[in-house]
A and B are shown apart, each in its own frame.
Chain A
Amino acid sequence: MGTPLQVKANQTVKDREMTLATIPSSAAASKTTARRTMSTPATLMVTLAGVFLTALIMAVVSWMSVSSSQGAIDAIGRQAVPAIVNIQEVRARLVEMDANAANEFLGGGQSSRDKYEVARQRLSALLAEAGSSSALGANERAEIARMTEQVQVYSGQIETARANSRQGFPVSSAYLRFASNLMHSDLMPAADRLDKFYSDYLEAQYAHQSSVHTVTLVAAMAAALALLAVLGFGQVFLSKRMHRSVNPALAAATVLIVAFSCMLGIGLMRSSSFLAEAKEKDFAALHGLWQARALAYDAKGDQSLYLVMRGNGAKYETGFADKTKLLEGKLSEATAVVSADISEAAASARANLQPSFAAFVKVADNIRALDKGGDRQKAVETATGSGADQSNGSFARFDTSMAAVVDGQKAHFDNLVERAAGSIAWLNSAGLIVALMAVFMTWIGLRPRLNEYRV
């Protein structure tokens, strides 16, 4: 029905359409006939339905895309990598315990004992944390449970060594050696197996994330393009059929979808880029730093055991030489990939890593020279002292620097993961909102035209 003015306008539209229909061009006759199979209101309704459908698809696909990226961030940035770092720290704490036990035995006293106890408690917490990871299979859980038991056995042997040592019994050094052998022949290989499991898990997750990310991003872009195509069709249809230059609502919906598509694409790409940087660079640096730290503790343990196991200490002397040589390479590799924009304190500590390690090695060389020169007393004092030119002191400076670099690199990694998550956090529900807005705008844009056909 409508007002008289509306009725007149409708009549004008119908007359124009009839005029157009009575003078078809011969060339386009067949096509025009085909188009005429659908009336204008029907076409407009189909357009509206098409917008609704494609908007829905875009919303769902973009949600899937964002969700899969968030899942990858969780799996890689918040599970696999922290789990690997956790296991690397487990390795480091194991050998830190061993190094401090040997140093205490040599005469390192309460200071070494306190460090041993701190490392033991931290190790317990790390193993409990490792056991709670959802990424673990039954075998890995059993491995962690067995490691926890073996740490108890190790601690028991150290306690027995201490008890015998207090009575001046030489069997104490044998217990220390048995404990150290347990550490290196059982616990460290178990930690290495877990590290490999998590590393494989990380690579699998990353490969999966990369493929899913690509597929969902392409699908989301395809859905957005389909929506834009429907909107474009509506715009062109209205323009041709009703001589409207631009339908503002459809245009606004188009701009909204274009903007959303761009932001979705940019957000996903940025997220993926941050995650890739976190995994490829920061994680590699963290992994290398923790391995270097564990190797350093191991070398420190060998240095003490060389003096404890007099006459039977050749393997510890060789072990120290091999480990420090390996460590020099690891330190070079790890510090080379440490992020350039870590905190100032961490950057300063990084610059100090290699010099402080070289100073520790120099002290170790001096200890062996003293021992071989017959001055065991001085060698032991140097091995257990905390002065600048003594072993515990020089190693503490290296380890303090190492801890600062590790903390700085971990903070950088966490920051990248958060930025990866932040880049797409708002996109999760934005797709649905944008889709609804696009449908609403299309409805707003088409409703007056549809109303023109209402009687």
Chain B
Amino acid sequence: MNTASNLDNLERNLKMMFKSLQSRLTSGVRTLAAAMVALAVVAAPLTSPTMAQAADQSGDVTASLRPLSPMPHALQMPSGSTMKKIQDRGRLIVGVNQDTLLFGFLNPLTNQLEGFDIDMARLVAKAIFGDETKIQFKAVVSATRIPVIQDGSVDMVISTMTINAARKEQISFSEVYYLAGQKVLVRRDSTAKSIADLNGQTVCVPKGSTTAKNIPRLNPNAKLNEVDTFTDCLVLFQMGKVDAISSDDVVLAGLAKQDPYAKVIGERLTDEPYGIGMPKDASDFVRFVNGVISQAKSDGTWTQMYGKWLGATLPGAAPNPPRGTYTN
């Protein structure tokens, strides 16, 4: 009996000890988890700048914050949010390019800005106000795209801007809304087949663009001529002061459309994923804009926009919208 009784007591004690240990462990884990959550909350503003790095570490520089879900209704933006501030102001301020035919350009006939980027910006305005005209465009050039975001002159910039790690150190990007690639434009009678054939020739690029950085790597023997805008390049090209223009294929398609004596050559030299630039600390706005973009991609709006602006110019059938990749 005693032995059996002792064994029973031992078993009971062991169970109690196990439960106590289990309880303590659970409590500890809970406390640890709570502490981690608290640390995450406190450190959120500090850690958010490194999200890009996290994304970069994950291998996808184009990854952006997951879209807001559910999306707020127009004119019902969440209190305290970036969108609410924009709603209260009464207009969305957007930096756009005004001389990139097909994407963002001032139509001299209508004196209105038009293009794929302009329509994309209007989608965001419509999502906030229910009215796509509640928008103020501020024209930017390649070199001023990031500064206008950083100094708060605009709410966002949508201007054929490639998402890359260096820029993500300075601003936040939406998910990819268009996937372009660098190519080269030459005279129609040129025998060049690619940028490799442009040794010793002058290639015009916009200042501050990714193409300006790519050319020395793609062909160190090509001479660079950096100017303010794409259209400045086209003027120099038509004056015979440069031999070629290098930029994204969609930009070059717009330039070639303005000059029947020009042609775009070669395969895509690089991938240029376009994103909408926003302030670094506006993560709520980034999620909101991603919601607008993903909606446009899924409901056919994106495809319609492609058909409207690029379908007749770019060869082949309309591609599928670029897939968004996200971080939490």
Which of A's residues lie within 8 Å of B, judged by CB? 105-107, 164-175, 177-178, 309-313, 374, 376-377, 380
Give bound CA distance, A45 to B257, whole Å: 101
**What are the interface flags for B126-161 relative to A under an 8 Å C-beta threshold, 1 for contact and 0 otherwise?**
000000000011111100100000000000000000
Stretch at the interface among B8-16, B101-109, B165-173, B208-216: B101-109
**B283 adjacent to chain A (CB < 8 Å):** no
CB <8 Å contact, A172 and B108: yes
Q: Assuming A107-B111, A166-B108, what are 5 further A-B pairs, CB within 8 angstroms?
A: A168-B107, A169-B108, A177-B232, A178-B232, A178-B235
Q: Which of B97, B105, B257 has the most CB of A within 10 A?
A: B105
Question: Pick the contact of A174 from B91, B96, B111, B229 — CB < 8 Å?
Answer: B229
20 contacts between A and B (CB under 8 A): A167-B258, A168-B108, A168-B110, A169-B258, A170-B231, A170-B258, A171-B99, A171-B231, A171-B255, A172-B108, A173-B231, A174-B232, A174-B235, A311-B95, A311-B96, A311-B98, A311-B140, A311-B141, A374-B93, A377-B111
CB <8 Å contact, B101 and A169: yes
Main secondary structure of the interface of B (DSSP, over half): mixed
CB <8 Å contact, A311 and B144: yes
Residues of B within 8 A of A311 (CB): 95-98, 138-141, 144
Residues of A within 8 A of B101 (CB): 169-170
Residues of A within 8 A of B278 (CB): none
Closest 4 CB pairs of A and B: A311-B139, A374-B136, A310-B139, A174-B231
* Closest-CB distance, B167 to chain A (whole angstroms): 18
CB-CB nearest in chain B for A179: B235
Residues of B within 8 A of A170 (CB): 98-101, 105-106, 108, 231, 258
Residues of A within 8 A of B232 (CB): 174, 177-178
Main secondary structure of the interface of A (DSSP, over half): helix
CB <8 Å contact, A312 and B229: yes
Residues of B within 8 A of A376 (CB): 137
Question: Pick the contact of A374 from B91, B98, B229 — CB < 8 Å?
Answer: B91
**B120 adjacent to chain A (CB < 8 Å):** no
Question: Pick the contact of B139 from A166, A172, A312 — CB < 8 Å?
Answer: A312
Give bound CA distance, A169 to B238, whole Å: 14
Residues of A within 8 A of B56 (CB): none
**B228 adjacent to chain A (CB < 8 Å):** yes
Give bound CA distance, A106 to B287, whole Å: 38
Residues of A within 8 A of B258 (CB): 164, 167, 169-171
Give bound CA distance, A173 to B139, whole Å: 13
CB <8 Å contact, A380 and B111: yes
Q: Knowing A164-B258, A170-B98, A174-B231 touch, does A105 contact B138 (C-beta < 8 A)?
A: no
* Closest-CB distance, A183 to chain B (whole angstroms): 15
Q: Which of A309, A311, A377 has the most CB of B within 10 A?
A: A311
Residues of A within 8 A of B107 (CB): 168
Give bound CA distance, A173 to B108, whole Å: 9
Q: Tell me which residues from 68 to 96 in chain B have a Cβ below 8 Å from any Cβ of chain A.
A: 91, 93, 95-96
Residues of B within 8 A of A380 (CB): 111
* Closest-CB distance, B157 to chain A (whole angstroms): 11
* Closest-CB distance, B206 to chain A (whole angstroms): 12
Give bound CA distance, A178 to B234, whole Å: 12
Residues of B within 8 A of A175 (CB): 235
Give bound CA distance, A174 to B235, whole Å: 7
Give bound CA distance, A166 to B258, whole Å: 12
Give bound CA distance, A31 to B88, whole Å: 118
* Closest-CB distance, B44 to chain A (whole angstroms): 33
Q: Knowing A312-B141, A312-B229 touch, does A168 contact B109 (C-beta < 8 A)?
A: yes
CB-CB nearest in chain A for B134: A374
Give bound CA distance, A174 to B106, whole Å: 12
Q: Tell me which residues from 29 to 81 in chain B have a Cβ below 8 Å from any Cβ of chain A.
A: none
Residues of B within 8 A of A165 (CB): 108-109
Q: Tell me which residues from 253 to 291 in chain B have a Cβ below 8 Å from any Cβ of chain A.
A: 255, 257-259
Residues of B within 8 A of A164 (CB): 108, 258
Give bound CA distance, A443 to B275, whole Å: 109
CB <8 Å contact, A173 and B234: no
Residues of A within 8 A of B257 (CB): 169
Q: Tell me which residues from 240 to 264 in chain B have a Cβ below 8 Å from any Cβ of chain A.
A: 255, 257-259
* Closest-CB distance, B135 to chain A (whole angstroms): 8
CB <8 Å contact, B99 and A173: yes
Q: Which of A172, A174, A309, A374 has the most CB of B within 10 A?
A: A174
* Closest-CB distance, A193 to chain B (whole angstroms): 25
CB <8 Å contact, B111 and A173: no
* Closest-CB distance, A346 to chain B (whole angstroms): 39
Residues of B within 8 A of A178 (CB): 232, 235
CB <8 Å contact, A310 and B106: yes
Give bound CA distance, A376 to B234, whole Å: 27
CB-CB nearest in chain A for B91: A374
CB-CB nearest in chain B for A175: B235
Give bound CA distance, A164 to B107, whole Å: 11
Residues of A within 8 A of B136 (CB): 374
* Closest-CB distance, A307 to chain B (whole angstroms): 9
* Closest-CB distance, A384 to chain B (whole angstroms): 9
Residues of B within 8 A of A171 (CB): 99, 231, 234-235, 238, 255, 258-259
CB-CB nearest in chain B for A160: B238
* Closest-CB distance, A108 to chain B (whole angstroms): 11
Q: Which of B91, B97, B232 has the most CB of A within 10 A?
A: B232
Q: Which of A106, A165, A169 has the most CB of B within 10 A?
A: A169
CB-CB nearest in chain B for A380: B111
Residues of B within 8 A of A105 (CB): 108
Residues of B within 8 A of A169 (CB): 101, 108, 257-258
Give bound CA distance, A311 to B139, whole Å: 4
Residues of B within 8 A of A309 (CB): 139
* Closest-CB distance, B153 to chain A (whole angstroms): 10
* Closest-CB distance, B205 to chain A (whole angstroms): 15
Residues of A within 8 A of B99 (CB): 170-171, 173-174
* Closest-CB distance, A317 to chain B (whole angstroms): 13
Give bound CA distance, A103 to B6, whole Å: 105
Give bound CA distance, A100 to B231, whole Å: 22
Give bound CA distance, A165 to B99, whole Å: 12
Residues of A within 8 A of B110 (CB): 168
* Closest-CB distance, B250 to chain A (whole angstroms): 14
Give bound CA distance, A165 to B106, whole Å: 10
* Closest-CB distance, B241 to chain A (whole angstroms): 11
Q: Knowing A169-B258, A170-B100, A174-B235 touch, does A312 contact B228 (C-beta < 8 A)?
A: yes
CB-CB nearest in chain B for A313: B139
Give bound CA distance, A107 to B93, whole Å: 24
Give bound CA distance, A380 to B137, whole Å: 14
* Closest-CB distance, A128 to chain B (whole angstroms): 28
Give bound CA distance, A374 to B97, whole Å: 16
